[in-house]
Structure 1
Amino acid sequence: MNVMETAHPAESSQLRARFATLASRCEADLLRTARRLCRGDEDRAQDFVQDALIRAYVACREGRFDLNASYAETRGYLLRTITNLFINEYRRRIKWDAGTDVDTLTSGGQSGPVQTHAKSADVPGSGLNDACLDEPLENALAALSEASRLVVIMVDIEERSYEETAQILQVPIGTIRSRLARSRQYLRELLHSYAVERRLTS
């Protein structure tokens, strides 16, 4: 994809070159996240990435985003842009139902002290080689409901706090916690079975 085709001819070639470098560094991660959100729908994922890059480029032109930011900050900004675009589309397509969850896939919940961020040990697959889990993780995420998948991506992949996730999705933090706990349990069981089969763990 070539987001630079949308640029005005009179705009700074230096800005375009710097942004093109930024986009090329982040594009693989952006596309991976978009595919997770879209359950592997390549055309839809490509559209989200293109839209996110265009919006980021406009933000750079208008001085709302600094191209001198660190790679981590830039990547985080673009990933959040993609997720926010997905959330906006999701809201247009279906009204969020706080009672809908992944009960048809798994059961369980979470009790104990309220957490504000995910602990690394809670994240499914965190103790295994990421490269070995790419395909099964994508398949497992795709099996989750759209609402549950979105929460997992926001908290466990983008590392947003529970509070921020709840505010963005406009649901109680308890809904985020229960949704996340059940989704994690399903993912953990599936990934463990895969790892045992491949002798990646005991």
Structure 2
Amino acid sequence: MLLDEALPHLPRLRRYARLLTGDSARADDLLQDVLERASRKASLWRPDPAHEDRSASLRAWLLTMMHRLFLNQRRDEHIGSFEEFSDSLAPRHEPHRALEQRMDLERALEALPAAAREVLLLVCVEELSYEETARVLELPVGTVMSRLSRARERMRQLMGSSGAAEGQRAANPPLRVVK
């Protein structure tokens, strides 16, 4: 049975769901939705000939399903009012927690745009190749590489220590273009 084959992938699927949603309860719900759908749609799954390993093909299929379900859930979430929406986009200024937030990987991941976070998680955490990630997200490989590069750079900025970064900026002011 397909679900029996999916069992070894559950920790990876849960980790990916947790990183996507940022909440363990929502991650568990997402994982349950994926497994439910996989059991209903098991007859539709065919191992991808691009994967040598049947297990890797199944993992890619489940990750693709999770990605699509996550996007559908985000789309279906109702945003109350325009003020609520704009408040969620506004940066939160909490100086007493600034250092703590920069050091917290989870919060740094949440600060990334969803598209960049998905690519970063699949390549760096789930260790999928660029090609596998492109198949899961249904993107060109070049787009995966570009998003990954931007996500890594943004993570460097978010995770860098504030004191060192400010000291470096003061010591090395930005270059000016001279004609």
TM tier, smaller: 0.5 to 0.7
Please tell me the residue identity of whatever aligns with 2:29. Answer: D
| Alignment match, 2:7 | 24
| Alignment match, 1:141 | 109
Please tell me the residue identity of whatever aligns with 1:48. Answer: L
**Which one of the candidate residues 1, 24, 35 is aligned to 2:18?**
35
Matched, 1:46 2:28: yes
Matched, 1:83 2:56: no
Q: Percent identity?
A: 32
Secondary structure of the residue aligned to 2:45 is: coil
- For residues 155 and 63 of structure 1, do their structure 2 counterparts lie closer, same or farther at Cα, with a shift above 3 Å needed? same
**Which one of the candidate residues 163, 171, 181 is aligned to 2:149?**
181
Conservation of the 8 A alpha-carbon contact between 2:14 and 2:27: yes
TM-score after normalising by structure 2? 0.53
The residue correspondences of 1:121-200 to structure 2 (distance < 5 A) are 137-154=105-122, 156=124, 157=126, 158-161=128-131, 164=134, 168=138, 177=146, 179-188=147-156
- For residues 163 and 31 of structure 1, do their structure 2 counterparts lie closer, same or farther at Cα, with a shift above 3 Å needed? closer
Once the two structures are TM-superposed, the CA of residue 33 in structure 1 deviates from its matched residue by 0.2
Structure with greater Cα Rg:
2
Matched residue count:
129
- For residues 80 and 159 of structure 1, do their structure 2 counterparts lie closer, same or farther at Cα, with a shift above 3 Å needed? farther
Secondary structure of the residue aligned to 1:149 is: helix
Higher helix share: 2
For structure 2, which runs of at least 5 residues remain unmatched after alignment?
A: 48-52, 79-90, 92-102, 162-179
Separation in structure 2 between the aligned mates of residue 35 and residue 182 of structure 1, nearest angstrom: 22
TM-score after normalising by structure 1? 0.48
Once the two structures are TM-superposed, the CA of residue 152 in structure 1 deviates from its matched residue by 2.6
Conservation of the 8 A alpha-carbon contact between 1:140 and 1:187: yes
C-alpha offsets along residues 13-72 of structure 1, whole Å, 9 cap, x if unaligned?
Answer: xx3xx62x3232111110000001012x11110111111111111222x35346xx7222
Once the two structures are TM-superposed, the CA of residue 93 in structure 1 deviates from its matched residue by 4.4
Conservation of the 8 A alpha-carbon contact between 1:59 and 1:65: no
**Which one of the candidate residues 64, 67, 81 is aligned to 2:45?**
64
